[in-house]
Structure 1
Amino acid sequence: MKKSIFILSIVAALFSSCNDFIEEDNLSFVSADDTYKTAAGFQLLVNTNYAWQKGIYGGDPWLFVSGTDMYAEGRAPEPAGLSQYTQLIPAAEGVEQLYTTCYQLIQSVNKTIYYSTVTQQTANLPALVGEARFLRANAYFLLVQTYGGVPLVTENFTSPVLQFDRNTAEQVYDFIITELEASLATVGTSAYSSTGKVNKRAVNDLLAKVHLTRGYETFGKPTDFATAATYADAAIAGQALSVPYDEIFKPSNKDLTAETIFSVQYDQNSTSTSPTTLGNKQFYFFSSYLGGAAETGAPLRSYNLCPTDYALGLFEKDDTRWKATFMTEILELKQGDKTILYYPYYRNAGDANLKVRHFYAPKWFTAADKAAWMTDNASRLSSLFVYHDWGTYSAAYTLIKNIDAQTIPVKKFDDPSPTTPATTGNVSTRDIITARLGETYLVAAEAYLKAGNPSVGLQRLNAVRTRAGVTPATAGEFNIDYILDEKGREMLGEYTRWFDLKRTGKLIERTVKYNYKITNASQFAGNNGQLKILRPIPQLVIDLNQNKNFPQNPAY
């Protein structure tokens, strides 16, 4: 590999954070070098790799979902460059977040692999190294999808190096696959729900996604799609989608159902030192502002990345994912002189004093359905009740009516804990699920379709629809657009949408069609006749690199 490293400020922050992490446990004042050479110290280093994922996934998710067909700006503004493309430049807000955090994890893994050769040799050491390689491969996969070719950094640097080269995207994909193949050979097989650690299923799942994505590239291998299908089936391992959809994201299940393949893990106790900054923000998005803790006791919400008309219209009658994804009724409960909104849904189930403040009617409701619902629920209605007709609660409708609770809340990521987020700020200690079985079935569906075996692909997709309680798709319907629609239903709010659209070549077509902030393909026009599909290499990276031949992406 070329000798290369990230920028000085990032490396300095990394070393400082890692040292702080170790010092908290280093009660005997043993040096970090000596600590890492023990089995217990090496385990701490491996744990640090997992912790770095929180920086990648725990903050604002603009680079994962903004500027797509599923989510758009509500009352609060999103970063204009990432959400609308015209203003997307190397110095735009949010561009460097993923680049920075991925390289922090990469350097942590580099240190882990270095110390694996000098630490106490134990029977589980190869498995620990395999876990680290998986995490490094995932970081590079995020980087190469987002920015294209990036520097391949594999050395454990102990002092900053400010001159680095850029590898090609093809080289990065080759490296990722090599890493994952090495990981697959050594990681364990224990169920993720019992260990919370990388296992062979997680590696097979990521290998499927990497081969599927590379298959679309000009340098992709002819066998990539078939290989992706094989790895996806290995990750599925014959397991049916038997967990009811509403159980997958139920807060009481702690996000570790039998279908969770991998996640970024949090613990409420670990946030006690800084409850308003530790934890993650996934719950904070995909909803309107509901009044806030001080006013109504409701959770603070961003009022951006709100579902589009397209996203809401994906669901059909009897699809169990509709009510499992959205809070179709916002409940209220009078407590003393205050009326609490939203949380009574979780905390006071069955209380006869619960009232309905808001109801969001699904698209299949007719006038007769509305009349029947109002009659059936007359005794439950708040004096301030609002009936939201279909077509009046998407992101775009905020241009017409911009008030609290105007857009329907996504509830999949709710954290109804008594102490987070309402009384401590906009953080959550629920895990962020980054891989689960339902998605793997859809990865397999796409891979089989692209490999020229649509009949098996349709079977994989219909397994997802059967679990949701809806009619199976037909062979005539089965194409990339249908798969993207199904992923929209299955994965709403999860951090995959921009990558799905970019991979399949549907980013421009679908955002122009469905995102009210992106009205014309010309918004993607960049320099040199290039389109803004890849994100720009962050300006900070360019400025601090002493290798002035480091190329920016052509559109910028």
Structure 2
Amino acid sequence: MNKYVLTIITSCLLLVNSSCSDFLEEKVVSKATMAYYDTPEGIDAVVNSIYSKMRWPYSGERFHNYALFGTDLFMTATGTHGNAWDQYQATALNSTTSLLYTWWTQWYEAIAACNTGLYYIKNMDEDAGWKNLRTAEMRFFRAYFLFDLMQQFGAIPVPLEPVFDAETYIARTPVNKVYEQIIDDLKFCADFNHLPVTAERGRVRIGAAQHLLAKVYLTRGSAVSAKAKTTRGTQDTDLTEAARYAEMVIASSEYDLEKNFADIFLLDNKDSKEVILTVNYTKDEMWNGDGNPMHMYTTGSYENQPGMMRDIANGRPWSRIRQTFWVMKDKTKHNGLFDYTNDARGEKSFKSVWYSNNKNNIPTWSDIKDGSTVIWSPDTKLKGKPKYEVGDTCIVMRPLYYKGIPLTNGGFETKRDSLILFGSLDHALWTMERLESVMNFWPVLEKWANGDRPDIMYEPGHRNFNIYRLGETYLIAAEAYGRQGIYDKAADRLNVIRKRAAYKAGEWRSNLNVIDGEGETLKTSTEAAMTVSETDLRSMSPDEFVDFMLDERGRELVGEDNRWNDLNRCEKLLERFKKYNAIGGAANNIQPYHVLRPIPQNHIDRLDPPGKLEEEQNEGWY
């Protein structure tokens, strides 16, 4: 048997510090002999250690680097943190980048744990139901981690046996064969009812296997070019299978869409029926480990604005990542992502209104005009008086005012007029100030917010990170149908999601989409404007339909999904990065070989004997 010396650490080491879940109990077994795994308790410990591994991307500054930067939806914020990933800087993003090797190691440790558990459980004389359940959990996660690695690195080693004695070499498996292994593992889970329909919070259910299998088939079937089809081993039945497995999840009584899009992201809505698979965190510090600190990364410098200071509710502003200007521009007026007039997801995904919490820096009315600041007073009697009070609306950021001017290189100007309105909505008293650079302050992604931490400096959060939810399942089905030309079913599945996203009659629509007004309570729903017809979809070219689906995934899943993988599977990474993100020289930085990450150099250096470099490293990285 080939054994993976270099980056797969013996799985007994994984069983230390397994983090909390509602169902996890810690077992410190780092000094246990391998015989421990030959017991039900040992297998349970292995499985629990694998669940704890799922936290790694979201317990620090990791997920947004490899999943969101360098795409059409997100860009770096203040400073240079993340520029390597976002701007494809050759000197910083290469085979020696530390995060790549850490990520590679973490996932192969998890795969090693799966292999160890699977090796021991197969010969156990235990209850068949328990054996099948634990086997299915481990095969699900082996498929999950292999799929994640393959999408980013392409051909990868696929060890299927436990590590007992170190060997020094294992060849990379071609992508088409990796797909076969992933599908084989997931079919064991999805086709034979080895996973339960209902499970404890955070544990894998059969719906998660069906959803992932649908996603795997869609990814393999998304290939357009002959090269991609050959590499992935695309099959004629892929899209049919993607739709079939997605429909299984949709038909399950275990899952249901939240009626209000915003309710998905309520901090304490951890039992939402829309969620299919989640990574658990908790308020209990004993079990929360490093917690989920992602609440800090998308928050800009609100505390430096008039009438504001840092507080718990508004978050700790690390300012690492922000949405691109395209995301925040209005679709109907400036060809942005969201239709802010009809699609509530824009307003419900981003915090764009702040209420004054600092009486000491509230601006006063004046008739002075000074440089880039224009201060207007509608009544001379107000001169010298505060424009608003603590508790009043003091900042409203309107998407229409994001006026990034595309440059010839496809980027945006660093400085632009981005109007922020300061004043009380109750009295419609406004002052318009020019923000010289919007890189310091922007609407905050509410999906990551964690406004009930114990103090303003507290980093660990308790928000769960939802890996899969039913909203995405509908979009997988819609895309699979549309790619086959079955536009009636594609429209049906799309409209379930788009109608949910519409403003409802009686719902308050803020002034985000209104130039001269404070918002309104709608008398009628915007569902009609959000509905797409079979004819609408049929009128699109195949390429236009793919772009439409990528836009729709962006509107529904912004900040949740691995956007880099999505663009890559559709062979759209370079095109959409250059069109919607690239700043300055980044449009020239990105190259065709960036569709794969480099194999970590630490891994290659430990191969003995190594193969030819072109066998061990991805094209373009050597």
**Residue number among 467, 480, 485 corresponding to 1:452 in the alignment:** 485
Q: In structure 1, what is the equivalent of residue 262 of structure 2?
A: 246
Q: In structure 1, what is the equivalent of residue 9 of structure 2?
A: 11
Give the % identical residues. 26
What letter corresponds to residue 604 of structure 2 in structure 1?
I
Q: Deviations over 1:60-108 (max 9, x none)?
A: 2211111000011221324333212241321235333432221121111
Task: Assess if the C-alpha contact under 8 Å between 1:56 and 1:101 holds in 2.
Answer: no
Relative to structure 1, the CA distance from residue 388 to residue 463 in structure 2 (aligned partners, 3 Å threshold; closer, same or farther) is farther
**Residue number among 457, 472, 487 corresponding to 2:531 in the alignment:** 472
| Structure 1 CA distance for aligned equivalents of residues 145 and 29 of structure 2 | 33
Task: Assess if the C-alpha contact under 8 Å between 2:258 and 2:273 holds in 1.
Answer: no
**Residue number among 130, 145, 151 corresponding to 1:139 in the alignment:** 145
Question: What's the CA shift for 1:330?
Answer: 1.8
Relative to structure 1, the CA distance from residue 388 to residue 428 in structure 2 (aligned partners, 3 Å threshold; closer, same or farther) is farther
Question: What's the CA shift for 1:34?
Answer: 4.8
Q: In structure 2, what is the equivalent of residue 424 of structure 1?
A: 458
Which runs of structure 2 are paired with 1:371-450 in the superposition (5 Å)? 376-378=425-427, 400-401=436-437, 404=440, 406-419=441-454, 422-425=456-459, 427-450=460-483
| Structure 2 CA distance for aligned equivalents of residues 188 and 143 of structure 1 | 24
**Residue number among 315, 336, 342 corresponding to 2:338 in the alignment:** 315
Question: What's the CA shift for 1:137?
Answer: 0.3
Structure (1/2) with the larger helix percentage: 1
Question: What's the CA shift for 1:359?
Answer: 1.3
Task: Assess if the C-alpha contact under 8 Å between 1:285 and 1:301 holds in 2.
Answer: yes
Q: In structure 1, what is the equivalent of residue 350 of structure 2?
A: 326
| Structure 2 CA distance for aligned equivalents of residues 233 and 214 of structure 1 | 18
Which runs of structure 2 are paired with 1:135-284 in the superposition (5 Å)? 135-184=141-190, 185-191=192-198, 194-215=200-221, 216=223, 217-218=228-229, 219-237=233-251, 241-254=257-270, 256-269=271-284, 271-272=285-286, 278-284=290-296
| RMSD of aligned alpha carbons | 3.3
What letter corresponds to residue 455 of structure 1 in structure 2?
D
Task: Assess if the C-alpha contact under 8 Å between 1:288 and 1:301 holds in 2.
Answer: yes
Query: Structure 1 residue 553 and structure 2 residue 618: aligned?
Result: yes
Look up the SS of the partner of 2:567 in the other structure: helix
Question: What's the CA shift for 1:187?
Answer: 3.1
| Structure 1 CA distance for aligned equivalents of residues 319 and 496 of structure 2 | 34
Task: Assess if the C-alpha contact under 8 Å between 1:290 and 1:299 holds in 2.
Answer: no
Q: In structure 2, what is the equivalent of residue 48 of structure 1?
A: 49
Count of aligned pairs: 510
Q: In structure 2, what is the equivalent of residue 488 of structure 1?
A: 554
| Structure 2 CA distance for aligned equivalents of residues 364 and 524 of structure 1 | 29
Relative to structure 1, the CA distance from residue 27 to residue 440 in structure 2 (aligned partners, 3 Å threshold; closer, same or farther) is closer
Task: Assess if the C-alpha contact under 8 Å between 1:438 and 1:464 holds in 2.
Answer: yes
Task: Assess if the C-alpha contact under 8 Å between 1:251 and 1:415 holds in 2.
Answer: yes
What letter corresponds to residue 547 of structure 1 in structure 2?
P
What letter corresponds to residue 540 of structure 1 in structure 2?
N
| Structure 2 CA distance for aligned equivalents of residues 28 and 140 of structure 1 | 26
Question: What's the CA shift for 1:472?
Answer: 1.1
After superposing the two structures, state which structure 1 stretch, 259-268 or 451-460, moved more.
451-460
Task: Assess if the C-alpha contact under 8 Å between 2:211 and 2:245 holds in 1.
Answer: yes
Question: What's the CA shift for 1:121?
Answer: 0.9
Question: What's the CA shift for 1:386?
Answer: 7.5
Q: Deviations over 1:472-510 (max 9, x none)?
A: 124335511111111111111113211110011111111
Look up the SS of the partner of 2:357 in the other structure: strand
Relative to structure 1, the CA distance from residue 375 to residue 552 in structure 2 (aligned partners, 3 Å threshold; closer, same or farther) is closer
Question: What's the CA shift for 1:118?
Answer: 4.6
Question: What's the CA shift for 1:179?
Answer: 0.5
Question: What's the CA shift for 1:28?
Answer: 11
| Structure 2 CA distance for aligned equivalents of residues 206 and 446 of structure 1 | 15
| Structure 1 CA distance for aligned equivalents of residues 602 and 30 of structure 2 | 36
Q: In structure 2, what is the equivalent of residue 116 of structure 1?
A: 121
Task: Assess if the C-alpha contact under 8 Å between 2:256 and 2:273 holds in 1.
Answer: no
**Residue number among 319, 334, 359 corresponding to 2:396 in the alignment:** 359
Q: Deviations over 1:179-232 (max 9, x none)?
A: 00112224333335x543211111110001101111114121111111111111
| Structure 1 CA distance for aligned equivalents of residues 565 and 420 of structure 2 | 42
| Structure 1 CA distance for aligned equivalents of residues 294 and 108 of structure 2 | 22
Which runs of structure 2 are paired with 1:32-47 in the superposition (5 Å)? 32-47=33-48
Which runs of structure 2 are paired with 1:292-311 in the superposition (5 Å)? 296-297=311-312, 298-311=314-327
After superposing the two structures, state which structure 1 stretch, 24-33 or 107-116, moved more.
24-33
| Structure 2 CA distance for aligned equivalents of residues 371 and 205 of structure 1 | 42
What letter corresponds to residue 545 of structure 1 in structure 2?
L
| Structure 1 CA distance for aligned equivalents of residues 81 and 31 of structure 2 | 46
| Structure 2 CA distance for aligned equivalents of residues 414 and 443 of structure 1 | 27
Task: Assess if the C-alpha contact under 8 Å between 1:512 and 1:518 holds in 2.
Answer: no
Query: Structure 1 residue 498 and structure 2 residue 532: aligned?
Result: no
Relative to structure 1, the CA distance from residue 43 to residue 302 in structure 2 (aligned partners, 3 Å threshold; closer, same or farther) is same
Question: What's the CA shift for 1:27?
Answer: 8.6
Relative to structure 1, the CA distance from residue 15 to residue 304 in structure 2 (aligned partners, 3 Å threshold; closer, same or farther) is same
Structure of higher CA gyration radius? 2
Structure-2-length-normalised TM-score: 0.74
Question: What's the CA shift for 1:431?
Answer: 1.1
Question: What's the CA shift for 1:116?
Answer: 1.1
Look up the SS of the partner of 2:463 in the other structure: coil
For structure 2, the 5+ residue unaligned runs are 20-24, 330-336, 363-388, 403-418, 503-526
Higher relative contact order (CA 8 A, sep 6+): 1
